[in-house]
Amino acid sequence: MEIEVTGAKILFELPFGITITETQVNMWIVMAAITALCIWLTHDLKVRPTSKRQIIAEYIVKTAENFVTSNMGAKWKWFVPYIAALFSLAMFCSLSSLLGMYPPTSDLNTTAGWAIMTFVMITFYKIKTNGPLGYAKSLTEPIFIMTPMNILGEIATPLSMAFRMFGNVASGTVVSALVYAALAVANNALFGWLPGILGEMGEKLPILQLGLPAILSLYFDVFSGVLQAFIFCMLTMLYIASAAETE
């Protein structure tokens, strides 16, 4: 039995070598779903709320604001939509695998893009806070010879963030595929020896595959997906807030 683990399916190819894969299409689907959810939650808002919808919408906004301001401080309130977008996109992209879709977060390009955004903002705030010279100088500390290590350290931040999320989500897919395949083999071994039509049916019916993959999916897709989205947002906020801190 052969198990193939691949990346996203390429769906379209545009000029200049641009390809549109499942990653992009699924991300657009997720974005459309989030947009629809937002519009549904916030239509017909009232000063005196009468619907549960509005209470949920206000709860989401307040929670997002608290999440950002408690980690970064009140002056970062403008940053709330970015973190909310990052969190919701990462979470729903990971959760999309529950619907049998290819999760966009198991594509390294996706997580790398988001990590690069974080890196750009970290560097921007470091330069803004300390000045270009101060930033350059901070790379040569404590002694000049440490400069390559410091640069490596700077790059390691987005790299580790990108690979952490990608690794968690993609490994979930891989482990699920492996377990599913292993269970199929075990299923064949268990029921395949039955004589005649019973044996053929036993091989085709995925009896053993019923329970365990669901539990694994609960961990890899739901728990890990939400947790990784949370960690990604948390690291983004903490790195950027500490980069903007004046010492």
Residue with tokens 């966009």: 104
Of the candidates 60, 121, 175, 212, which one interacts with another protein according to CB under 8 A?
A: 60
Distance of CA 104 to the CA centre of its chain: 8
Among residues 57 and 183, whose Cβ is nearest to another protein?
Answer: 57
CB neighbour list of residue 58: distance below 8 Å, 6 or more residues apart: 49
Residue with tokens 């990653």: 23
Measured in degrees and rounded to the nearest 5, phi and psi for residue 168 equal -65, -45
Q: How far apart are CA 173 and CA 156, in angstroms?
A: 25
Of the candidate spans 104-112, 129-137, 180-188, 218-226, the one that interacts with another protein by CB under 8 A turns out to be 104-112
Least Å distance, CB 22 to another protein, is 9
176 lies in the site for another protein, by CB under 8 A: no
Strand (E) or helix (H) holding 75: none
Mask: binding to another protein, 11-50, rule CB under 8 A, as x and -? xxxx--xxx-x-xx--xx--x--xx--xx-xx--xxxx--
Of the candidate spans 4-12, 142-150, 190-198, 213-221, the one that interacts with another protein by CB under 8 A turns out to be 4-12
Amino acid at 199: G
Q: How far apart are CA 188 and CA 32, in angstroms?
A: 41
Q: Contacts with another protein: how many residues (CB under 8 A)?
A: 54
List contacts with another protein (CB under 8 A).
Answer: 5-14, 17-19, 21, 23-24, 27-28, 31, 34-35, 38-39, 41-42, 45-48, 54, 57-58, 60-61, 80-82, 84-86, 88-89, 104, 107-114, 116-117, 170
